[in-house]
Structures are given as C-alpha cells and as structure tokens.
C-alpha cells in the first residue's frame, strides 16, 4: 500500500501550520528587499510595484483565511499568498543562496530570508488593501466556534450536490480540500456521493464533529507531507500517517475491507465501500 501522490495540495491544516510556525520568524520584522525570480508568481500589482511597495514595510500580522496566508503590513496593505499545489515558504539563515525552484525571496532586517519555493509554479501572491480584492467569497472557517452543526445543516439544506463536492467548495466552507473531505466523510461513515440535502440530522451532527476532529488532529501533526508540502523549517508534517482512507487505495480499513476510489465531480475520492454505504446504512 502506497500513498498516491498525484495532485495533492495543501489544505487548511497545512496552511495553518505554516502560519503558526512562520509567525515567530516574521512578526515585527521589516522587509529589506524582495527578489522575484519568476514574475508570474506575482499576480497583483506589477512585479516592480510589488517589490517597491513591499520594501521597508514591517510585517505586523500573519493570519490564515481558508487556504490563503494573509500578511498584514504597517502601511495597511496585505500580502496574500496562495500555495496552490507545490508552494512552500521556507525560512533560511543569513546569506542563503536561492536553491532550485525558489520563485520569490524576501530578505528581512534580521538577516534571515524567506524563500517562496514552488516546483510547479502555480502558487500566487497579491499585494492588496483587502483580501476581498482577491477572493470573491469564502465560506465560514470550520474550526471557528461559530461553525456549529446548525451552520452545517444550513449549508447542506436544499443542495442536491454530492456531499463530497459540497465539502470542497470554498464558497460554502473555507479550507477543506480533497484529503480532509475524504477523511471527514470516512470518520462520519457517510458515502461521498450522498446528496447533501438527504443527510439526516444525526449524519450532519457526525459530519460536523468529524470535520473539526480531522482538521484539528492534522494541525496537531503539523500537516500532511503526502506530496511536496514542507513546514517553514524544511521539516515534513506527519498527518498523512494517520489517514484512514485518503490516498490509501487498496489499503485495509479497520472493518477488514479495502479502501476504494471513485470519482466525484472530477475529484479522486477515497472511501470504504463497507463503512460508507450509499443506501441502507446505519440509522
Ligand atoms: Zn471499512
């Protein structure tokens, strides 16, 4: 049984881990220079403006919203980073030469540097006044206390879409992607193709607590290094060792059955056909 590495992206727990671990390195630091080695990593404004406006700015805050990292700056602007598929933000000691795949380098006033390393070049950065300029609409944060079972009940109500597709829709719930949707549905013993609106009250309650538990556990394990994800210090996360179904095709479920894979709205979806029945499941 091997983890399949195709098209795995950082999700809420990975981005949250990066935020947590990067915070002590960057808060209160001033950016002394910016080097853009791959222009298309910068979406807004122009590369020249991006470098000019960031230089001499102090980083006053770092937050996560969905899968976005949001750096607050002392001039009120925000540097938004989306890692997409292979992006990573790595802290390097003084005078470190950018290695292969580094697209943007931020030099800080304590001599350290932050490398934006991005093998596939899908990662993006924006320098804007407000996150809303970049993202039209993001659903609620699933780990916040105001994301209750009642919140989830409202989201699934009247939606015919398969529950798996609903969970990864960023406009409905922010931060969940393919891996943690599969893990949450397995933990709640819900079939990924079940139409959202057909979930019972009890299934919604189970799914709600499964979402929180799965994300929280993955943050505790510093994210999943199933693919190229790395923490700011270059270490891997270990959340994938806890995966019950995600990327474990053919692996053993605790019921004795084998993990299967189906495609839901073009996304490879892992589940246990025995534990997650489409009909006739547990009441
Ligand atoms: Zn099973």
Average pLDDT over residues 88-98: 86
- Asked if 41 and 124 touch (Cβ cutoff 8 Å), the reply is yes
Percent of the chain topping pLDDT 90: 88
Mean pLDDT of the chain: 94
Q: How far is the CA of 148 from the centre of ligand 1 (A)?
A: 27
CA of 179 to the centre of ligand 1 (A): 17
**The predicted structure's pLDDT at residue 7:** 64
- Looking at residues 244-252, what average pLDDT do you find? 94
Q: Which two tokens stand for residue 192?
A: 């990924």
Distance 262 CA to ligand 1 centre (A): 15
Sequence-distant contacts of 197-202: CB under 8 A, at least 24 apart: 197/156, 197/157, 197/158, 197/159, 197/160, 199/156, 199/163, 201/153, 202/283
Active site residue 45: no
Inter-residue contact 177 to 227 (CB < 8 Å): no
Alpha carbon of 147 to ligand 1 centroid (Å): 28
Which is catalytic among the residues 58, 121, 205, 267? 267
Instruction: Please tell me the predicted confidence (pLDDT) of residue 186.
Output: 98
Sign of CA pseudo-dihedral 199, 204, 206, 212:
positive
pLDDT digits (tens, 9 = 90+) for 219-232: 999 999 887 899 99
State yes or no: pLDDT of 1 exceeds 70.
Answer: no
144: annotated active-site residue: no
Q: Are 182 and 192 in contact (CB under 8 A)?
A: yes
Q: Is residue 232 flagged as an active site residue?
A: no
Average pLDDT value for residue range 270-277: 97
Mean pLDDT of 114-122: 94
The answer, yes or no, to whether residue 265 has pLDDT greater than 70, is yes
Tokens representing residue 108 in the block: 């800080």
The pLDDT assigned to 2 comes to 47
Q: What residues pair up with 69 in beta bridges, in sequence order? A: 64, 81
CB 190 within 8 A of CB 164: no
Distance CA 179, CA 11 (A): 8
Q: What is the CA radius of gyration of the chain?
A: 20
Among the listed residues 19, 29, 57, 67, the single catalytic one is 67
- pLDDT tens profile 26-58: 999 999 999 999 999 999 999 999 999 999 999
- CA–centroid distance, 109 to ligand 1, in Å, is 53
84 flagged as catalytic: no
Distance 276 CA to ligand 1 centre (A): 7
Q: Does residue 97 carry a pLDDT above 90?
A: no
Q: Give residue 204's pLDDT.
A: 98
204 Cα to the center of ligand 1, angstroms: 20
Distance 159 CA to ligand 1 centre (A): 27
C-alpha distance from residue 236 to each of 26, 62, 125, 209, 231 (Å): 20, 21, 23, 27, 6
């Amino acid at each position: 049984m091997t983890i399949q590495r195709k098209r795995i992206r950082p999700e809420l727990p990975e981005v949250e881990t990066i935020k947590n671990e990067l915070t002590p390195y960057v808060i209160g630091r001033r950016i002394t220079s910016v080097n853009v080695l791959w222009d298309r990593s910068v979406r807004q404004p122009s590369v020249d403006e991006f470098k000019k406006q960031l230089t001499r700015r102090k980083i006053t805050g770092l937050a996560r919203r969905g899968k976005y990292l949001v750096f607050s700056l002392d001039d009120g602007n925000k540097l938004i980073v989306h890692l997409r598929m292979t992006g990573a933000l790595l802290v390097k000691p003084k005078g470190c030469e950018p290695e292969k795949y580094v697209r943007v380098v931020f030099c800080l006033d304590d001599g350290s540097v932050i490398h934006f390393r991005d093998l596939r070049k899908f990662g993006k950065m924006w320098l804007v006044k407000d996150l809303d300029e970049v993202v039209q609409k993001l659903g609620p944060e699933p780990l916040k206390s105001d994301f209750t079972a009642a919140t989830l009940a409202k989201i699934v109500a009247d939606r015919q879409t398969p529950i798996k597709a609903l969970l990864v829709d960023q406009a409905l719930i922010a931060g969940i992607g393919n891996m943690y949707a599969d893990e949450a549905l397995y933990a709640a013993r819900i079939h990924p193709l079940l139409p959202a609106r057909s979930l019972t009250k009890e299934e919604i309650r189970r799914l709600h607590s499964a979402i929180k538990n799965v994300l929280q556990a993955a943050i505790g394990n510093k994210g999943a290094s199933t693919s190229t994800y790395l923490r700011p210090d270059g270490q891997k996360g270990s959340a994938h060792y806890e995966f019950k179904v995600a990327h474990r095709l053919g692996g053993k479920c605790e019921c004795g059955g084998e993990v299967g894979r189906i495609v839901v709205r073009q996304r490879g979806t892992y589940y246990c056909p025995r534990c997650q029945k489409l009909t006739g499941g547990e009441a």
